[in-house]
Structure 1
Amino acid sequence: MKPNRYLQIVALGIGFLFLYIPIVSLVVYSFNESQLVTVWTKFSVRWYQALLEDDELIAAAWLSLRIGLLTAFASVFIGTWAGFVLARMGRFRGFTLYTGMINAPLVIPEVIQGISLLLLFVEMGKWLGWPAERGIFTIWIGHVMLCISYVAIIVQSRVRDLNPSLEEAALDLGATPFRVFFAVTLPLISQALVAGWLLSFTLSIDDLVLSAFLSGPGSTTLPLVVFSRVRLGLNPEMNALATLFISVVTVGVVVANRFMQNAERRRLAMAM
């Protein structure tokens, strides 16, 4: 084996250790009986039982889950059209402005976005009486605004790689452009849609800054609860909660990966 090959294996191993040792240690210590997070005593599921009895944490997790699901679906729906326009509509009048508006949330700090939306909702509440208070709806709007850009870029890159002859053939056979999009284009970019959905869901679940500005009484998301508790000291319940999330995300990624592999096989079969 060549020295370069050894170097690549070592570098890859160090990278994986750097990424996954903290996650593995977190999972292991979630089964620790001790109240001290970093001191192992013996195996126990005590903190999982305590987690089930923690109403505040459960309510925050459920709220974050609902917002994450709503954000993922809305971002994929809007971002798909935005990315398709960027990839296929050419340089129409206002294209530069349109592109800048799509990409703006990627480069503007979340603090600025949060302040801007907060001021917008406050003024709308004064003049229109809506929204009456900040809560799940205002948080959802902020998260969708952030995630649309990521979905649009993913979809744009995937649409540009498509073979246009497939869509042209469908048009020659009499299908309308609208029908071609749903019958031909959409199945071909399904992998990008799944990737955008997962990324949007992750960004929403993980978001702290926007949620802090746009939340109100009774609408505290999980990152806000965790952040407020961690400032007072590490709690073993956090390890248990993180382990449950890691398990759910792992299952979701495996299922999505299997779906994407099957979709890629079908796409290759159609291209042959």
Structure 2
Amino acid sequence: MTESNTTNPSIFILLGIPGLEAAHGWISIPFCAMYIITLLGNFTILFIVKIEPSLHGPMYYFLCMLAVTDLVLPTTTLPKTLSIFWFNSREIDFGSCLTQMFFMGIFSAMESGIIAAMALDRYVAICHPLRHSTILTNSAVAKIGLAVVLRSFIFFLPSPFLVRQWPYCRTKVISHSFCQLMAVLKLACADTHISTYYGLIVTFLVTVMDVFCMMLSYILILRAIFSLPTIFSVFVSRYDHHVPLYFHILMANVYLLVPPMLNPIIYGVRTKQIRDRLLRHIIQTE
């Protein structure tokens, strides 16, 4: 085997959703609709918090962090996925593939971490209401936000470097709609257990840490359920060969699309102050 066959490829080919190629056009409709709802919902949250001074507090700062994360997370994958569905644009260069993989990892971890921080905020507000403003100061909120960002970068920064070191002498075709870690590792012609186990360990650690924080407040206990698709996707992709491939890919896309779409509704519209300010703004514009 020549050295040129074992170096990193210049491009990969994304298949979209293998087995459902004929339905790509139809699948793109709900995907696109969810993305538009995600953009509208999260931009609305950011706008309302910005213009309303009474919302300049810890809970709403965390909510803005979540909104920014939920804007970036689906944007890392969905535009490319839609370009496959609509224009059959399947090529993605190796660097872009690693970048996509990296941002998916860090922003997924950031989303989980911010929700855990919001649960901590609710815990303090419920259990220590008189000390809430002194415990969760603007400085404390900034430090928590920075800790969430740094944790995500530290945990997921090694992953693309590990993927980059493997030789790819097999096909350049990725059986997925985006550069999902396990789908890319399957193309390597080397023992990739280091990358596989590292991905599993990081996913497990992030999930355990954040679920533990979420359990501090009964309000956000159910939010731990949203961490399950990540574990499900990683473990199933690694060990289960009996579930159809298109199911794996659909589940991966749903995980990236549904939480960012629902978070503005769960944490924004259901918050009375934001709901009231939004209604007042709509009435004023009329």
| Structures share fold, TM-score greater than 0.5 | no
TM-score, normalised with respect to structure 2: 0.28
The structure having more radius of gyration, on CA atoms, is 1
* TM-score after normalising by structure 1: 0.29
